A and B are shown apart, each in its own frame.
Chain A
Amino acid sequence: MAHAHRNHPTYWAFFIHRVSGVALALFLPLHLYVLGLALAESTAFADFISWSNTPGLKTLETGLVVFLTAHLTGGLRLLALEFLDWRSGQKSLVALSGGISLCLGLVFLLNAY
C-alpha cells in the first residue's frame, strides 16, 4: 500500500522500460565481447555459439528478445509522447507496445526450436 500510487499502466510501462534498459545495457558488453572472440579464436566463438543453442540459453535469449522489443515499442511510445502532439488513449498505447513485444518474443521462441 505504501506504493499504491504506482499501480497504473503508464507507471508499469516506465518500470518495464527501466528494467529492460538496464538489463540490455548490462548484456551489451558481454554480447559484443563474444562477437569479438570470432576474431582471434574462432573455436571459442563457435563453442560459445553452440553453447548458446542449448534449450536453457534459448529461453534466456527469448527473455532478452522480449526486453529488446519491450524497450523498442515502449521507447517509440515515449518518442511519440515527447515529440508529437498529445494524444488520448495513453493506456491503449501501453497495451499495444506490450502486446507487440510479447508477440515478437513468441515468434523468436517458435523459430528458435
Chain B
Amino acid sequence: MTTASLRTETYLWLAQRISAIVLAVCVVVHLTTMIVAVQGGLSAQEIIARIGGNKLWLVYYLVFVAAVAIHAPLGLKTVLREMTALPIKRIELLVGLFAIGVAALGFRAAFGLYGLGGS
C-alpha cells in the first residue's frame, strides 16, 4: 500500500508532529495578532505597516510557512489515502506539488510584504 520504508514512514510521521508543535506556537501568535489587528476591520496599510521592513516578523512568517508547507501536505496525504481510491504514487505527486505551491506562495508573500515597508 505504501512505497516508503518503515523508517521513512516514521520520519514523515514525526515531521508532521514536530511541524505541529511549531505551528501551535505560530498559530497562537497569528490568532492574537488577528484578533488585535482586526479591531473594527482590516486594512492593507495596517498589515504593511506592521510587517514591512520588520526582520522579526519576516523570520516568524518564514518559519510559519515552512511548518505549514510540511504539515498540511502530510495531513492531506493521509486523508487522500484513506478516503479516495487514488494510487499512492499519484497521491504522493499531488501532495508534493501542493507542498511546493504553498511554500512558493508563502515565501513570496512573506518576502514581498517585508520589502514593501520600512526604510
Chain A in direct contact with chain B (Cβ < 8 angstroms) = yes
Decide: A32 and B106 in contact? CB cutoff 8 A: yes
* Given A18-B79, A42-B44, A45-B44, also A32-B105 (CB < 8 A): yes
- Chain B residues near A79 (CB, 8 Å)? 17, 20-21, 24
Assembly CA distance A83 to B28 (angstroms): 21
Which label, helix, strand, loop or mixed, suits the secondary structure of the B interface?
helix
Say if the beta carbon of A85 comes within 8 Å of chain B. Answer: no
Measured in the bound complex, the distance between the Cα atoms of B43 and A42 in whole Å is 12
A36 neighbours in B (Cβ, 8 Å): 105, 108-109, 112
**C-alpha gap A83/B24 in the complex (Å):** 15
Shortest Cβ distance from B45 into A: residue: A46
Chain B positions within 8 Å of A, measured between CB atoms, are 17, 20-21, 23-24, 27-28, 30-31, 34-36, 38-44, 47-48, 65, 68, 72, 75-76, 79, 98, 101-102, 105-106, 108-109, 112-113, 115-116
Indicate if the CB atoms of B39 and A111 lie closer than 8 Å. yes
Nearest-CB distance from B118 to chain A (Å)?
Answer: 14
A111–B35 contact, CB under 8 A? yes
Q: How far is the CA of A50 from the CA of B23 in the complex (A)?
A: 28
User: What is A's interface to B at a CB cutoff of 8 Å?
Assistant: 18, 21-22, 24-25, 28-29, 32-33, 35-36, 38-39, 42, 45-46, 49-50, 52-53, 65, 68-69, 72, 75-76, 79, 82-83, 104, 107-108, 111-113
Chain A, residue nearest B109 (CB): A35
* Contact pick for A69, options B17, B31, B42, B116, CB 8 Å: B31
Name which residue of chain B comes closest to A61, CB basis: B38
- Chain A residues closer than 8 Å to B116, beta-carbon distance: 38-39, 42
**Are A104 and B72 CB-contacts (below 8 A) given A36-B112, A112-B38?**
no
Chain B residue with the shortest CB-CB distance to A44: B44
Question: Given A39-B116, A104-B31, does the pair A29, B102 have CB atoms closer than 8 Å?
Answer: yes
